[in-house]
Amino acid sequence: MMLFVWAVTSSLATARVRDEAGIFTKDLGAQIQARTDECLEQSGVALHVVTFADLDDHLETRSVKLLKQLSGDEPAVMLAFGWGMDTPLIKISPSLGDRFAVGELTSLMADARRPFSDNAITLSQKFDAGSRVLNEGLIALEKKRQTLESRHFPMELFLSLAAVVLGTALLLWVALLWLQKGAARHEKFYFPDVDVEWRLGAPFGGGLMVQTSANKKPDRR
């Protein structure tokens, strides 16, 4: 089995374009490699394009294992195909579902499979179109995600500032209460000394302090 790898690096662990089935021409392999480089740079997602020389019942399992081997836990997508297949396999890493909406990814994968059902173009053209759809779609999804995050930033900033203001107001209120209590401990109240008679043996029990008459006639002198 011959393995053709059109990639900048010769390390199989990092190559994103692998043509075991020998479907790609050298120029097409280079174009797809450049496309995967662009995808990784602009979207942060590793796009892998792979062809298998032999098909078996465990092709899906092999695709998942290979994607895990090549990208680990990083966001990644694999477009895999082999002779005798009607439609390609498109596998995504679990972390990609945390990055983009599942519905958007499902729609993108359907768009990428569509060229493979077009019998008017060659298999190489199908790969060219499918990889382009994935590349442009992932970049667009990343730009959309960043735009949404930038719109949420002012609200997060507002909430942070509101928390700071409320915290400061609470501290000032506590400090004011503490100062008021401290001032109350040092206050003294003075009452005038009033001479009153004893009443039933109890001091300050009562007595006549002020007397006025409402019937007093004014002095006419």
Q: Is 50 exceeded by the pLDDT of residue 196?
A: yes
Q: Can you give the pLDDT at residue 152? A: 57
Task: State the average pLDDT over residues 122-137.
Answer: 93
The 10s digit of each residue's pLDDT in 57-101 is: 678 888 888 898 888 889 999 999 887 788 899 999 999 988 999
Task: State the average pLDDT over residues 177-190.
Answer: 65
When pLDDT is cut at 50, 70 and 90, the band that residue 204 belongs to is low
pTM to 2 decimal places: 0.62
Q: How far apart are CA 38 and CA 47, in angstroms?
A: 9
Q: How far apart are CA 36 and CA 51, in angstroms?
A: 15
* Residue, of 45 and 206, whose pLDDT is higher: 45
- The answer to whether residues 65 and 94 touch, using CB atoms and an 8 Å cutoff, is no
- The answer to whether residues 35 and 6 touch, using CB atoms and an 8 Å cutoff, is no
Q: How far apart are CA 63 and CA 56, in angstroms?
A: 12
Q: Can you give the pLDDT at residue 188? A: 59
Q: Is 60 exceeded by the pLDDT of residue 182?
A: yes
Q: Can you give the pLDDT at residue 91? A: 92
